[in-house]
Structure 1
Amino acid sequence: MGVSGKVVALCSYETTKLVRIHSVRLGSLKWTLNAAVLLFICVLMLWNRKYQQFDQVVSSVTAKVKGVARMQLPGEEAVIWDEADYSGPSQDKNSFFVVTNVIVTKNQKQGRCPEPPSSGRRCRHHNDCKRGAWEPHSHGIQTGSCVKFDALARTCEVAAWCPVEAKHKPPRPALLASAEKFTVLIKNNIHFPAFNFIRRNILPEMTESYLTRCQRGNDSLCPVFTLGDVVHQAGGNFSTMAVEGGVIGIQIKWDCNLDHLTRRCLPTYSFRRLDQKESNKTLSPGFNFRFAKYKTVDRAEERTLYKAFGIRFDIMVFGQAGKFSFIQLVVYIGSTLSYYALTTVLMDWLIGTTCYAAEEGQNYSERKVESIPDKKECILCVSYVDEENIRLVKMSHKKRLQDVKTIRVQTRKIRLLFLSLTRN
């Protein structure tokens, strides 16, 4: 083969063999299946917005709690608690805390006092107490003395804020159960950097009078929530939860479509309880922490210790924004073209099964698939002068004709063999 012949061979094109079946039934089935695949692709594209480019939300959250409650301590006059009292110390940036129950230890001073038997070490002699020792559940540092706690028990003396906190179980019912009616205003600012899009959950049309009177039951976009409703929608009971406290998650989801014709960007709120609901099935249930209020009496510092039980509300923001992208559309179309191969696979399977006529299916299979042997065998018919029958010889490139083993066949059988060979 010359150079020109090699160039022509390189410029050749090979393709697959196609078999066209003229059948109204198969043609109708093909177009029906193709239409079903096209409908599925379009519905999937519109439902999941595969033609858009997406960006994740970046957000900031602040919360402002409003409400006033009356708290009645045992043996004392009732006191009024407002936002400064029940909000506790500053929490994480995306959460807020509301006190619902307290254990109060008043008039604590720096000094020496016995540990309660429940948290301190019991003793009989001074040798049972080690000077300078400290244990995880103790309220101070041991002085090395064994002192009388009450008529029945002796415990190690500690240097601490005295008297130490002795009560461990919170009051029932909760002292601030009326916090169920408190309200919280949640402010959420979001930003989608890829599209330079900024929005708030307090929409431009929401005025101050609107925020004062809006209710979640009638308006799903109202950013003002009642604490009792939040706990209820999270599957909890506020009166029960207020005793030992707990953790509630407030989820804000933004699913924004920024295309001009279908523009929509509004928040949706959902609620769930994040801690163990059954307090009797977990160790250290609920949520609590301690804080103190200090004062000076006769030039000596005193404090009131509060062990506060309450509900922590964690605000979690999720979301994405989408906008039309020609590149994403082309990628989606290219990835879905392979779905049309399902039509061919299904129709070939139907033709090959009992759902189709056996003769027509066999005819289709024979025309679509052509079997070619790996090597061709050359058979020679040899006759000898002194024999009536004809001999068949398989031609070989390695042996001479005289050395090849022959098969004697009668003339009638040779005709049948010849007819079968010509058909094939």
Structure 2
Amino acid sequence: MDKVGSLFAYKTAKYVVAKNKTIGILYRLFQLIVLGYLIGWVFLKNKKYQITDEIIQSSVKTKVKGYATITTSDGKEEVWGPEDYVIPQQGDNVFFVTTNLVDTPNQTLGYCPESPSAIGFNCTEDADCKQSKFFGNGKKTGICLNITNSNFTGICEIYGWCPPKTKDRPKTPVLSEAENFILQIRNNIRFPKFNFTGSNFKGKSIKQLNTCFYDEIKEPHCPVFRLGDIVQKAGYSFQEMAVYGGSIGIMVEWQCDLDKGWDCNPQYSFARLGNSPTHEFKFRYVRYFTDANGGKYRTHYSVSGIHFDVMVFGMAGMFGIIPTIVNLGSGFAFMGAGAYICDIILLYMMKKRTLYRVLKFETVKKNDKNIEKIV
């Protein structure tokens, strides 16, 4: 019967002041820890009183400047500008800067021996020169050429662009001057939740962008960098990377506290994407020409260089009453846990725990004579 009656009993709090120094110090210490966590970590460090927007809308335009003198394979000296060594030329957030190359000029369509370095083209008889679909610089004609003035005894004839590439990549970068080329990054961003827009070149004229360099304190709105400095800040030597090529990530981070004003500056960081020595970056392309008689010829380029990837991310925040109330409520609820822990220690671990339990818990029945006298 008592068990059934307990379902309809009501419990109300009874406050007992326990003048115990140990429990009192423990309770105040717990309150201070929670208060310090709430103010220091939640509000000051992580700014949980703010409404945030992590959806960043971004556009990036890049421009590389600088000229280099190179010597081609036929001994000619050429001056290369951005239109020669930057691919693609339109200036996207992903671009490639040529630093090393092997050029094969004056190629024309015709018949010639394959390059000695090509796989599967050495031969001793015509039967060795069957068609290969994947390797080489042209289509096999089925003829084995015995060339006596070379280091090999036989090579398959091909029909293709002749002569094929025969030289190896130089061990010293052809465009070693690329270390001093200048990179300009123009980045416009928008956080749609707050309708906040910004740019990393705010207030800079074209003339100023051509004469300044980025400095976090002195020139936060000058997005101009030296290529050698970018690779160095990523932890690598530009001249070593320029031989075989590689990929560099340029991170543009926007952390905008709009409570401090609507002027926000980005932070830049740099990292190599794939730091293994085998992570090269190279490819091939050609340039076609027409002679006075209408004949077509071309120059073949096998290039290595540095691939740059500009990545933009960030977050904007502004004071909001709802996240403030939610985090304050969570902090005060956590303070209540301190009282619960102290109650457990006081009622079940202290020497006078029996006395504290008697004082804290009291059952009042409906027919209690003492209650009737009070009433």
Q: Structures share a fold, TM > 0.5?
A: yes
Instruction: Give the letter aligned to residue 33 of structure 2.
Output: A
| 1:339 is aligned to 2:338 | no
1:19-418 pair list within 5 angstroms: 19-23=16-20, 26-43=23-40, 44-56=42-54, 57-74=56-73, 76-90=75-89, 93-121=92-120, 122-131=122-131, 133-135=132-134, 137-148=135-146, 150=150, 152-167=152-167, 169-204=168-203, 206-216=204-214, 219-259=219-259, 261=260, 263-277=262-276, 279=277, 282=278, 285-297=279-291, 298-348=293-343, 351=346, 358-365=350-357, 367-368=359-360
SS in 1 for 2:197: strand
Give the drift of 1:193: 0.9
Q: Percent of counterpart pairs with the same letter?
A: 38
Give the drift of 1:18: 5.0
Q: Specify whether residues 347 and 251 from structure 1 end up closer, same or farther in structure 2 by C-alpha distance, changes over 3 A only.
A: same
Q: Give distance in 1, aligned partners of 2:361 and 2:261.
A: 51
Displaced runs of 4 or more, over 6 A: none
5+ long unaligned stretches in structure 2 = 1-6, 364-375
SS in 1 for 2:179: helix
Q: Give distance in 2, aligned partners of 1:153 and 1:366.
A: 107
Give the drift of 1:91: 7.7
More displaced stretch, 17-26 vs 300-309 = 17-26
TM-score by length of 2: 0.84
SS in 1 for 2:58: strand
Question: Conserved in 2, the CA contact under 8 Å of 1:248 and 1:311?
Answer: yes
TM-score by length of 1: 0.75
Q: Specify whether residues 264 and 199 from structure 1 end up closer, same or farther in structure 2 by C-alpha distance, changes over 3 A only.
A: closer
Q: Give distance in 2, aligned partners of 1:309 and 1:91.
A: 20
Q: Give distance in 1, aligned partners of 2:15 and 2:29.
A: 21
Q: Give distance in 2, aligned partners of 1:134 and 1:114.
A: 17
Q: Which has the higher contact order (CA 8 A, sep 6+)?
A: 2
Give the drift of 1:154: 1.8
* Matched pairs, number: 349
Q: Give distance in 2, aligned partners of 1:362 and 1:148.
A: 108
1:294-343 Cα shifts (integer Å, max 9, x gaps): 11123220001111111111100010111222222222233333321442
1:234-276 Cα shifts (integer Å, max 9, x gaps): 11101111111111111100001112x5555210111111133
Question: Conserved in 1, the CA contact under 8 Å of 2:70 and 2:78?
Answer: yes
Instruction: Give the letter aligned to residue 360 of structure 1.
Output: K
Report the structure number with the largest CA radius of gyration: 1
Give the drift of 1:86: 1.0
More displaced stretch, 186-195 vs 289-298 = 289-298
Q: Give distance in 1, aligned partners of 2:227 and 2:100.
A: 15
Q: Specify whether residues 262 and 49 from structure 1 end up closer, same or farther in structure 2 by C-alpha distance, changes over 3 A only.
A: farther
Give the drift of 1:367: 4.7
Give the drift of 1:293: 1.5
Q: What is the root-mean-square deviation of aligned Cα atoms in Å?
A: 2.8
